[in-house]
Structure 1
């Protein structure tokens, strides 16, 4: 994967062997969307057209304008945004689905002579786009049902026997990842690691990535998570969930499991109060931010610029970001 730290605003995209792809990644509520817009606006002032491309697994769904904190027209700041709200909630957008669409979108932006700025915090989306996807065959339905019916401690014990390498990398309570690894090895006879060694379709070797990973001080980030969820309520998140429930979608769909939907669905059904839903939703947001933070700190290439900060002041972030991309 080709990476660099300096974004040359005068770069001729059409002449580049590996066209540029700016990337601003960070956990939820870290300010990455605002940073992407600030970068795009600055480059626009320097004569470079930019397009922000979404890499957030919740913001792809049209039904989650509020609960995904999808940028409003005003927050887009006059910059074109793509892959925001492109999927209907009745459709599951997997990492492979998104990456395929993102590849075409980024290629089209380059063909237009513009700079794509990828922004998001879904590590699996980013990794799949850049590194490709493992050709894991469809899981046998019977095996999937049997694995998913196992208590997590039994599934983890089985995984330690059948794929000890993967088990060593997972927390014993990580229900989803344990089940996925176990169903793959039982259905295909090969471990996830073996399949991942055969990845294909990534664009990492075809572009030059200019990355910035935002890693705010954790307690400050968690306070922003709490504030964000409260503001979502003020902006109509409850009505958004009521509309989703009225569609009677499959509860297993990603849109129905997005943070805030189960919590507020309980309010609609009369199972708990709005105050309890806010507490649950805020905690779920903090938990998600913590997982993203850990992934972004350790998983991307070591030469990707990590940006640690405590001050969320826009001017302060503006200065940090522009120093990273050598625009000041």
Structure 2
């Protein structure tokens, strides 16, 4: 096998795909063949409060391989893509200094995109403008955006109120459309590293079955108790940790609002829907030159790893 040098061209391996796709196991297989550090790129697994519901690897599953940026943020904080990207840059640089290959693994495409391409340097939005825009009805906001920023309006679905509000507040607060800022992203590392990417896109039916099985396993591993601990913290409901898949469903079960059967079915449905969105994102948004595996890969792991490490 032609093993790459971690420092040569600042190599970075990347294994991404939807939840339950097997990306973590594959990253671990790579790390066993090449001295490495596995770096989390999943927005749920950054939180210390979501050990079970985020399917964060256990000490046993880490199998002696160093893992970073897993469970390192308290649930009372909201981790942004920009914050994670800065932390990932530090972890990558540290790995290179130690002659270790950084292996980014996760399912949050936005995190990976910000790390590689940078972030639009949008100035802070005026609070009064934001408050005024948030009070607009969806149609009213969309019509205003069509007038002020027709490029963004044409790109967005008229029902996507969150993105419409964001584009509208940017143009009103900064005087420049969102497209202007997005064309001038800063802080990306893509030009400074040699990326070895792999996108996993397993068969959909297999993926959805794995999602259901994984949630059943989460219940056995203490997901209900994890949600109970979160509830006891009385954290604001708008924090990411409180909006994680499974939290609201299990919380309603604990409160007696729905039955166990209904809670599990709702949580599994939400899990499958999220996995579907991740699948679609990585299939359509990942650069065409990135290596992709569509379908089963269990019988070809060694050749896959060899290809990545060239």
TM-score bracket for this pair, using the shorter chain length? over 0.9
C-alpha contact (below 8 Å) 1:214/1:306 kept by paired residues = yes
Deviates more, 1:176-185 or 1:297-306: 176-185
Structure 2, unpaired ranges of 5+: none
1:219-263 residue CA offsets vs partner (Å, 9 max, x unmatched):
221121122222211211111111111111111111111111121
User: Helix, strand or coil for the counterpart of 2:103?
Assistant: strand
Superposition deviation, residue 326 in structure 1: 6.2
Which residue of the partner structure matches residue 305 of structure 2? 322
Partner Cα distance (2:17, 2:200) in 1: 5
* Equivalent of residue 22 in structure 1, options 5, 13, 16: 13
Partner SS, residue 277 of structure 1: helix
Residue 110 of structure 2 corresponds to 124
- The answer to whether 1:260 aligns with 2:246 is yes
Q: Distance in 1 between matches of 2:233 and 2:153?
A: 38
The alpha carbon displacement at 1:171 in A equals: 3.4
Find the residue that maps to 2:166 and give its secondary structure: helix
Match of 1:176 in 2: 162
CA RMSD after TM alignment: 1.9
Worse-superposed segment, 159-168 or 58-67:
159-168
Residue 198 in structure 1 maps to residue 184 in structure 2: yes
For residues 155 and 231 of structure 1, the distance between their equivalents in structure 2, rounded to whole angstroms, comes to 43
- Are 2:6 and 2:12, in contact at CA under 8 Å, matched by a contact in 1? no
1:75 match: secondary structure: helix
1-structure distance, mates of 2:31, 2:84: 22
Q: 1:74 to 1:154 in 2, by over 3 A?
A: farther
1:281-322 C-alpha deviation (Å, 9 max, x unpaired): 11111121122111111222211011101x37xx42524622
Aligned partner of 1:4 in structure 2 is none
> Is 2:292 the counterpart of 1:306?
yes
Pick one of 26, 29, 33 that aligns with 2:24: 33
Q: 1:40 to 1:326 in 2, by over 3 A?
A: closer
Deviations 1:170-223, CA, capped at 9 Å, x for gaps: 334434333322222222222222111111111111100000000112222112
TM-score normalised over the length of structure 1: 0.88
Cα contact 1:263–1:281 (8 A) shared by 2: yes
Contact between 1:212 and 1:324, CA under 8 Å: does it hold in 2? Answer: no
Structure 1 pair 212–274 and aligned structure 2 pair: CA distance change class (3 A): same
**Against the structure 1 CA distance between its residues 107 and 185, is the aligned structure 2 distance closer, same or farther, given a 3 Å change threshold?**
same
User: Does the CA-based 8 Å contact 1:35-1:317 persist in structure 2?
Assistant: no
Unaligned runs of 5+ in 1: 1-6, 44-48
Partner of 1:54: 40
SS in 1 for 2:236: coil
Structure 2: how far apart are the matches of 1:279 and 1:156?
Answer: 35
User: Is residue 50–residue 114 contact of structure 1 (8 Å, CA) maintained in 2?
Assistant: yes
TM-score (norm 2): 0.93
Alpha-carbon spacing, 1:90–1:326, altered in 2? closer, same or farther (3 Å) = closer
| Higher fraction of helix | 2
Q: Per-residue displacement from partner, 1:84-104 (whole Å, max 9, x unpaired)? A: 001000111100000011101
Change (3 A) 1:198 1:27: same
Query: Residue 33 of structure 2 corresponds to which residue in structure 1?
Result: 42
**Partner Cα distance (1:317, 1:142) in 2:** 56
> Distance between the aligned counterparts of 1:116 and 1:85, measured in 2?
18
